A = this chain, B = another copy of it.
Amino acid sequence: MPLTRRELIQNGAVGAAALAVGGVIGKNLPGGKEEEAASQGATGLAGQAQKVADARKLSPDDVTRAVKTFVAPGNQHGDEFFLFSSGGHSGQVFVIGVPSLRLLKIIGVFTPEPWQGHGYGSDSSSPVIKAGTSNPASGMLTWGDTHHPAFSETKGEYDGRYCYINDRANGRIAMIDLRDFKTKQILDVPNLQSSHGGVFVTQDTEYVHISTKTPTLVDMSKADGALDRFPDAFRGYSTFLAVDKKGRFDMARSFQVELPPYTQDLSDSGKLVSHGWVFLNSYNSEMAAGGNMEGKPAIETGASKGDYDFMHVINWKKAVELVAAGKTMTINGMRVVTLETAAAEGVLYLAPEPRSPHGVDVSPNGAYLVVAGKLDPHVTVYGWDKVQKAIAAKDFSGKDRYGVPILKFDSVVSGQVEVGGGPLHTQFDENGYGYTSLFVESAVAKWSLGEPYFKGDKALKLVDKVSVQYNIGHLVAMEGDTVKPQGKYLVALNKWSIDRFPTVGTLKPQNFQLVDLTGEKMNILSDTPIGMGEPHYVQAIRADRIKAWEVYPVGTNPLTMEKDPNAIELGKERVERKGTTVEVWASVKRSNFKPDNLVVKKGDRVIMHLTNTETTPDATHGFAIPRYNINCSLDPGEVTTVDFIASEAGAFAFYCTEFCSALHLEMQGWLMVTS
């Protein structure tokens, strides 16, 4: 029994926020009326097609929607954009085409994924996942909570080389190589127990930024009573990870800026005029730590007491100078500009924000910082020129308890726009409009930026609103967080889908809604269920910016993208035994493994180097060993190594797991483990 939006609200779906924002709801909620009517004219279909449309209950506007989103079979380039969507607590990244919203691939990142062989080549040959756990409390970390993908950029535009993404749960970050869409590195970032703070890159990918979400207990051995000493015992960290020429994190050139133990939240990089700075907001500057069983305020109450929280304004170019000058302290292997140094040297300032803010988003020209706070119906627009002037003039209202200067709200804010209930995040188009998600109101607001986009009373004005279904978190416009937004489409990342899809059990899909930005009014084009994770943020890149490989040159190890020293040519297969180690150099092609018989003794260590000698695109082979928890994907030309102890005696029919040819079923061999 799906509920209407009104019932949903009555039942408390919008939770405490419904109470917290009070009047806003009454004023802005559409009251259950769906405002989806498309603005296009009626569509006439001929004959058979019209009958089908009638039978399938498609209105003329729906037919236009179909035409706007359908990609004809065989049209390889019918999708203009790729969404790279975080998978939330699935731990993965989803690649989705726009406008079809077809799922092109799930990339295994923090969670093992056997179709890709990601993490199933035995421990020793799952080096990416293994290296991603520096200090596991309970074995390897085998999941993550992916939140914010960030493409590498050149001059503020996506350059299609790499995609970075954080693990919000465990304070980690991963790098995906866009030549083969595979995860090449997971870094367990020092001093972060959890993460948020982007991920974003600076405009020429000088640094990849990731920060703490919940602050870190500085001395993990002193947890006793630490919540009572919260302001002293905990700290946040803003991390600037340098990357090398292969897109990997280079710890030797990386550093952190220590932050107050507020809960650092979303953030964005300065662009063009604001290049060299980053903006990182926070909530819970009250530093509430809960204790609801002990009669203390619950965190959600304690964290919402103050009228203002703070945006951190960080001069990273200045921080780089301090690092070069050695003005750092090394903590857990990471050079850290301390809070004291950052405050004293002009690296860190705070700008007040309406309480419990969520997003901060920098306009395409870098001149505006747009903040939205879910408990305030406005977006607040900070002018970068004003921020600069206030910093130069030391126009401060005071300092926080850590000595960080606080800019005067009125000195740095250009204006506010009342957009509606529960504004969270803003993206931009190419024409100077901002699009802000409204969580409580379940809508997207379109509003105009200031000069040079719009002047006078045309600036900072709400111009359109569209209802979405339901409870939108992030949203993404095409390349809508870069210096060169592409417009056309927007995707609403809705958290609730109650009555939009057939019931597939108690755990419901999310709902990605595609919104047409080409008309006067925004127009919902389609609903797409996301039933394999809970995407948090998405970046959308023009498909033609990514130059992916069709095949590897034969003998390539994807981890290095270079020739693997254990690659072999056909006819060079061999088996070598040294003591209790059996090392095998095997070829893999349609339709056999060579060798196809392998006899070892129970307890032997078996190292198998597998070379897929195929050069044909899509001629992928799998390699699985029953009962040994091993499965690899060998794409054309790929080399991989599996390494395991033959711990169970018997006959194990290894086989190709990817349907490769008419004789695929016969593509198997026997691992014989004698006792």
Q: Give chain B nearest CB distance to A68 CB in angstroms.
A: 5
A114 touches B136 (CB 8 A): no
Contacts of A89 in B (CB 8 A): 114-115, 622, 624, 631, 633, 657-658
Of A11-19, A203-211, A445-453, the stretch lying at the interface with chain B is A11-19
Q: Give chain B nearest CB distance to A65 CB in angstroms.
A: 7
Contacts of A669 in B (CB 8 A): 290, 299
A660 and B575 alpha carbons, distance in the complex (Å): 56
A463 and B526 alpha carbons, distance in the complex (Å): 37
A549 touches B505 (CB 8 A): yes
Contacts of A78 in B (CB 8 A): 56-57
B70 touches A58 (CB 8 A): yes
B62 touches A673 (CB 8 A): no
B592 touches A300 (CB 8 A): yes
B628 touches A137 (CB 8 A): yes
Partner of A214, one of B220, B536, B622, B653: B653
* Chain B residue at minimal CB-CB distance from A167: B626
Interface residues of A in 98-142 (CB under 8 A from B): 101-106, 111-116, 120, 122, 135-142
Contacts of A300 in B (CB 8 A): 591-592, 663, 666-667
Number of copies of this kind of chain in the complex = 2
B70 touches A90 (CB 8 A): no
Interface string of A496-513 (1 = CB under 8 A from B): 111111111111110001
Known: A115-B89, A214-B653, A291-B596. A56 touches B52 (CB 8 A): no
A137 touches B647 (CB 8 A): yes
Of A43-51, A330-338, A345-353, the stretch lying at the interface with chain B is A43-51
Q: Give chain B nearest CB distance to A267 CB in angstroms.
A: 14
A115 touches B90 (CB 8 A): yes
Contacts of A213 in B (CB 8 A): 653
Contacts of A57 in B (CB 8 A): 72, 75, 78
Interface residues of A in 1-52 (CB under 8 A from B): 1-3, 8, 11-18, 20-21, 34, 36, 40-49, 52
A531 within 8 A of B: yes
Q: Give chain B nearest CB distance to A211 CB in angstroms.
A: 14
A17 and B666 alpha carbons, distance in the complex (Å): 11
A495 and B622 alpha carbons, distance in the complex (Å): 13
B16 touches A590 (CB 8 A): yes
A619 and B495 alpha carbons, distance in the complex (Å): 10
- Chain B CB within 10 Å — which of A234, A590, A595 has the most? A590
Interface residues of A in 643-675 (CB under 8 A from B): 644-653, 655, 657-663, 665-670, 672-675
Known: A15-B661, A89-B657, A659-B473. A52 touches B79 (CB 8 A): no
B226 touches A651 (CB 8 A): yes
* Chain B residue at minimal CB-CB distance from A531: B105
Q: Give chain B nearest CB distance to A280 CB in angstroms.
A: 15
A560 within 8 A of B: no
A194 within 8 A of B: yes
A240 within 8 A of B: no
Contacts of A673 in B (CB 8 A): 223
Interface string of A280-306 (1 = CB under 8 A from B): 000110000111111000111001100
Of A174-182, A251-259, A394-402, the stretch lying at the interface with chain B is A174-182
A71 and B66 alpha carbons, distance in the complex (Å): 8
B142 touches A112 (CB 8 A): yes
Contacts of A268 in B (CB 8 A): none
Q: Give chain B nearest CB distance to A277 CB in angstroms.
A: 24
Contacts of A95 in B (CB 8 A): 504, 531
Known: A102-B529, A548-B505, A624-B145. A46 touches B56 (CB 8 A): no
A583 within 8 A of B: no
B665 touches A283 (CB 8 A): yes
Partner of A624, one of B63, B135, B169, B216: B169
A116 and B501 alpha carbons, distance in the complex (Å): 18
* Chain B residue at minimal CB-CB distance from A632: B89
A67 touches B68 (CB 8 A): no
Contacts of A88 in B (CB 8 A): 115, 657-658
Contacts of A234 in B (CB 8 A): 651
Interface string of A566-598 (1 = CB under 8 A from B): 000000010100000000000000111011110
- Chain B CB within 10 Å — which of A73, A304, A573, A665 has the most? A73
A505 and B110 alpha carbons, distance in the complex (Å): 19
Partner of A534, one of B495, B543, B599, B657: B657
Contacts of A431 in B (CB 8 A): none
A379 within 8 A of B: no
A663 touches B17 (CB 8 A): yes
Interface residues of A in 195-235 (CB under 8 A from B): 213-214, 216-217, 220-224, 226-227, 234
Q: Give chain B nearest CB distance to A40 CB in angstroms.
A: 5
A315 within 8 A of B: no
Contacts of A501 in B (CB 8 A): 76, 97, 104
B193 touches A532 (CB 8 A): no
Partner of A662, one of B16, B56, B103: B16
Q: Give chain B nearest CB distance to A438 CB in angstroms.
A: 10
A233 and B672 alpha carbons, distance in the complex (Å): 13
Q: Give chain B nearest CB distance to A285 CB in angstroms.
A: 13
Contacts of A298 in B (CB 8 A): 592, 594, 596
B650 touches A299 (CB 8 A): no
Partner of A626, one of B67, B169, B638: B169
Partner of A293, one of B224, B591, B597: B597
Known: A49-B64, A57-B72, A627-B136. A104 touches B221 (CB 8 A): no
* 12 other A-B residue contacts (CB within 8 Å) besides A89-B622, A289-B670: A11-B616, A66-B66, A89-B631, A97-B529, A143-B629, A179-B505, A181-B504, A193-B653, A213-B653, A303-B666, A356-B666, A506-B558
Closest 3 CB pairs of A and B: A17-B662, A15-B661, A181-B505
- Can you give 24 A-B contacts (C-beta < 8 A)? A12-B616, A13-B661, A14-B661, A40-B48, A43-B47, A44-B45, A52-B67, A66-B69, A73-B527, A87-B115, A89-B114, A120-B142, A145-B624, A145-B657, A194-B653, A220-B650, A220-B651, A283-B665, A283-B666, A298-B594, A440-B662, A503-B550, A506-B550, A508-B617
